[in-house]
Amino acid sequence: MTTQSDDNYAHSTLDDTPSISVSDDTAPVSDAQQTNANDDVQTLAPNTIILADALTDKAIAWQIHNCKISKKTITQDLPLPFLYHYDSLDEAIKQTHPLTPALLAQFNTSMTAQAAAKLIGIDAALLASPWHVKIIGSLVVFSEALQLAVRLHWTNTGKETQQIYTKDEADALTNALKEWQFFGRVDILYKNNKLPLVSIDEQRTSAESILPLETSADYQLLPAAHALIVIAKLETNKTALPWFENAILERLE
């Protein structure tokens, strides 16, 4: 398994092969493709590749390329609503410093741990200051045999940040990545003109469920409904697909 640096991202090729480029150029799936999907017979050819199924097929030699980080926040300086600070106190401290009407009035007021400690009337050392962690990244998963590349995005949380109570920054990062997840857009690059590739949305009617994905020199943006199908399938099977997590953890080292 290999990953490439951000500096080489724009000019690299997957596994140094000339057949698939990994540029960031993306074209939306055309209206004609969507129309063809509606007219397609529902019995797929035996050699048809179903995108979500292929991505979760452990028998395919998938490789990860261009795993990179676009946003990384790890800090203890961001404010939190007062209620988060108060709830993190030991029960013994809560008993000696019960909630008063004045404190209740501040429950949704954002503040630092130091400001909350002053408001409660305790030493700041008694109030833990959590790490705020937010990491967003992307990666390309590629099959040389299929001539298929799929660009995915990942994060540790769907919230603005994830709060982790630990003393060490490295431990905060490790704990945050335990909950990483795929999200957002999905782009595909397909150059295999011998095997048909489709995406199937089982939530739609039979006439609209199959989306043919044509070969192209550029990435194609999957429609949102099909992107959700791919992400849901990957999330369900994520523990059986260790190459994704391995690449992410390696990139964060």
| Assigned domain for 212 exists | yes
Q: 220 and 179 in one domain?
A: yes
Q: 144 and 31 in one domain?
A: yes
Q: 67 and 121 in one domain?
A: no
Domain boundary among 104, 126, 148: 126
Q: Find out whether 68 and 251 touch, Cβ atoms under 8 Å.
A: yes
> How far from chain centre, in Å, is Cα 196?
27
Q: How many CB atoms lie within 10 A of CB 135?
A: 23
pLDDT tens-place string over residues 209-226: 899 999 999 999 999 999
Between residues 13 and 127, the one the model is more confident about: 127
Q: 152 and 63 in one domain?
A: yes
Q: 229 and 216 in one domain?
A: yes
| Assigned domain for 11 exists | yes
Q: 228 and 195 in one domain?
A: yes
| Assigned domain for 155 exists | yes
Q: 145 and 109 in one domain?
A: no
Confidence category of residue 44, pLDDT binned at 50, 70, 90: confident
Q: 205 and 115 in one domain?
A: no
Q: Give the strand pairing for 80-81 and 110-111.
A: antiparallel
Q: 141 and 20 in one domain?
A: yes
Quote the number of domains for the chain: 2
Q: 54 and 173 in one domain?
A: yes
Q: 88 and 68 in one domain?
A: no
| Assigned domain for 53 exists | yes
CB-based burial label for 162 (10 Å; 0-12, 13-18, 19+): buried
| Mean pLDDT, the chain, whole residue set | 85
| Assigned domain for 205 exists | yes
Q: Find out whether 203 and 224 touch, Cβ atoms under 8 Å.
A: no
**Cα within 13 Å of Cα(158), Cβ side:** 4
**Cα within 13 Å of Cα(161), Cβ side:** 19
pLDDT tens-place string over residues 181-216: 999 999 999 999 999 999 998 776 665 689 999 999
Average pLDDT over residues 92-100: 94
Print the domain residue range for 90: 77-126
Q: 115 and 148 in one domain?
A: no
| Assigned domain for 1 exists | no
| Cα–Cα nearest to 12, from 220, 3, 55, 154 | 3
Q: Ramachandran region of residue 16, left (φ > 0), alpha (ψ -120 to 50) or beta?
A: left
pLDDT tens-place string over residues 128-152: 889 999 999 999 999 999 999 999 9
